[in-house]
Homo-oligomer: A and B are copies of this chain.
Amino acid sequence: MKIVCSRSDLQKAIAISMRAVPVHTTMPILECIMIVAESDGIHFISNDTELGIETVVPGSIVEKGRVAIQARMLSDMIRKLPDNEVIISVDESKMVKVVCERANFQLAGLGGEDFTYLPVVEKEDFISISQYTLKDVIQKTIFSIAVNENNRVLSGELFRVRGDEFQVVSLDGHRISIRNTALKEVYSEKKVIVPGKTLSEISKILGDDAEENVNIYFAANHIVFEMKDTTIVSRLIDGEFFRIENMLSSDYETKIRVGRRELLAAIDRSTLFVRENDKKPIIFNVTDGYMQLSIDSQIGSMQEEIDVDKEGKDIMIGFNPRFMMDALRAIEEETVTLYLVNPKAPCFIRNDTEDYIYIILPVNFIR
């Protein structure tokens, strides 16, 4: 094998491939990027057995072939090279040569006979969505997936398609994050659970261009994300996601309109007195025209008043400040609306079109 690529194209392809290279593994082949140079182009493939990525690299093939190279080593090497053409070649003993300007590297490659290529998935049932939108809804929900959870279902996000609506849901037992997005076409109903790890890696590969689309294919055990040069295949999580419909209610006793940044800054200040693993709630005391926030811990105490626009009953309710902050950070709008029922019922933060719904359970407190 002998290929010639620009350093910048190699860097891009390696950065994408690395997303499916596990940091810790006992199988050396999983630490590799498989380079395949055949008549259909140069392909970089990586696969951690749950998530697999294949990306096409621009460049010319002097001699066809394939070789597996330790990914981190290849990444460091290309990064340290001057910005010029790079020649990667392999001889019959699988010795890899990398040449750029006057720099020459040699290192041992692997034949990759034990490499797991991407599974062949039936690409029938799909939706098309802008890369930017998918990235956005992942980033704005992924914080509330459960980590270190025995229930595998909670470690993933629900992807649901109903007509022209695409819904992404994550929940961890204390809160629920929901994003609803309109699709440009009407599709058949779909409902799968995608591993959080997959979504986290994909959100780093997806572009910021709203014009560039990604096709998402839904198969029995896999989901495929297909972009222009890159295909990502992930296993799905088996199981039934929680029926969130029952939890969604539009009843409320108190409705509060408040400046998002102002509320976020005040809650952030309250976290000063919350040590990790400490469950001290921040207490919202809402009366006409303003809300008093207060927190009281062994370390110290803090109170702050902010102006709000209130409809309905006065209420005093406690929350985990971190959960409240996560939701407020994921909202773009400058004014947010909180819907409350009583101090034991969840708080809903949503807009009228329900593009987003963040539900946060309150925390008991003693006064």
Contacts and interface: CB of A to CB of B under 8 A. Distances in A.
A282 to B, nearest CB: 13
A244 interface: no
A77 B272 contact: yes
A315 interface: no
Contacts of A306: 102
Interface string A273-309: 1000000000000000000000000011111111000
A367 B293 CA distance: 72
B106 A301 contact: yes
Contact of A269 (B80, B269, B272, B304): B80
A71 to B, nearest CB: 13
A272 B80 contact: yes
Interface in A81-119: 81-82, 102-108
Contacts of A238: none
B73 A103 contact: no
A266 B265 CA distance: 48
Given A272-B73, A272-B77, A272-B105, A265 B302 contact: no
A103 B304 contact: yes
A103 to B, nearest CB: 4
Nearest to A108: B300
Contacts of A300: 73, 105-108
B80 A268 contact: yes
B103 A299 contact: no
A302 to B, nearest CB: 5
Contacts of A302: 103-106
A136 to B, nearest CB: 27
A154 B149 CA distance: 50
Contact of A102 (B106, B108, B305): B305
Contacts of A269: 77, 80-81, 103, 105
Nearest to A269: B80
A50 B272 CA distance: 29
Contact of A104 (B81, B82, B299, B304): B304
A299 B107 contact: yes
A82 B304 CA distance: 12
A76 interface: yes
Given A77-B272, A106-B300, A272-B77, A82 B305 contact: no
Contacts of A80: 265, 268-269, 272
B107 A266 contact: no
Contacts of A273: 107
Given A77-B272, A102-B306, 16 more contacts: A76-B272, A77-B269, A80-B265, A80-B268, A102-B305, A103-B266, A103-B269, A103-B302, A104-B302, A104-B303, A105-B272, A105-B302, A106-B302, A107-B299, A107-B301, A108-B300
In the complex, the 5 A-B pairs of residues with the closest C-beta atoms, listed nearest first = A107-B300, A103-B304, A80-B269, A104-B303, A106-B301
